[in-house]
Homo-oligomer: A and B are copies of this chain.
Amino acid sequence: MALLRDPDVLIPEIHPLLQDRWSPRAFDESHVLDAVTLATLLEAARWSPSAGNSQPWGFIVGLRGDATFEAFRTTHSRGNTAWTHRASALLVTLRQLESGPDHEIPFNGYTAYDLGQAAAHLSIQAQALGLHAHQFAGFDHDAAKELFEVPDHWAVTTGIAIGRLADPSVLDESTREKELRPRTRRPASDFSFAGKWGEPLELQP
C-alpha cells in the first residue's frame, strides 16, 4: 500500500504555521504595521538559506498610505488593485542577477530560488506574528523597475502584501468569490518520485 497515493490512509499533520498559512485578499484597513514587526519580518528573510550564502534578495517596503505603497499600487493588475490597498505593507521583492558594486554574489544560478526562500521565511514569520502575507506577480514589472530605479543587475520579481486578516465582507463580489474558493493542491503522489522522474515514491507505513 502506498502512503502518498491514498490520502484517506494518512493525512500527515504539518506544523500549524505552514498549515494555517494562506494568501488572503481581505486585509484589515485599520491595522498598522509597527517598526519592530517590520524589522522582524526582514530579519526572518535575512536568515534564510542561499547558494554559497550569496543572499541575493532585496525588498522595497511601502507602508499603507506612504509614497512607496501608492507608487507600487499604480503598477498592479486590475485584479490585485481591488484589494492591495487594504494591506498594511506592500513589498516589492528583488533578486540580484549578477555581482555589482553593491554586492558580490558567488553564484547567480539560484537567485530566484533563494529569493523564494527568503519570501517564504518572511511569510511564515508574518504568520507567527498573527499576520498574513499574500505574494503576487500580477503587476507591471517594467513600470515598477522604472518607478523604483532598480538597476539592471537586479530584477523586480514579486509583490508581498502583509496585514491582518479581515472579514471577506470587506471585499467586492468578484474578489470575495476568489477569497472563499477552497484551497487545492495536487496530491503529493503527483510530484514525489523515486528511482527516476515519474516513478511513484512508494511509502510503506
Q: Size band of the A side of the interface? A: 35 or more
Question: Does chain B have a CB within 8 A of A180?
Answer: no
User: A interface, by DSSP: helix, strand, loop or mixed?
Assistant: mixed
Q: How far apart are the CA atoms of A103 and B121 in the complex, in Å?
A: 27
Q: Across the interface, name the chain B residue whose C-beta is closest to A110.
A: B137
Contact partners of A102 in chain B: CB under 8 A: 198
B contact residues around A94 at 8 Å (CB): 197
A residues in contact (CB < 8 Å) with B: 3-4, 10-15, 17-19, 21-23, 35-36, 38-40, 42-49, 51-53, 55, 57-62, 66-68, 94, 102-103, 107, 109-110, 112-117, 119-121, 123-125, 128, 135, 137, 147-151, 154, 157-158, 183-186, 188, 190-198, 201, 203-205
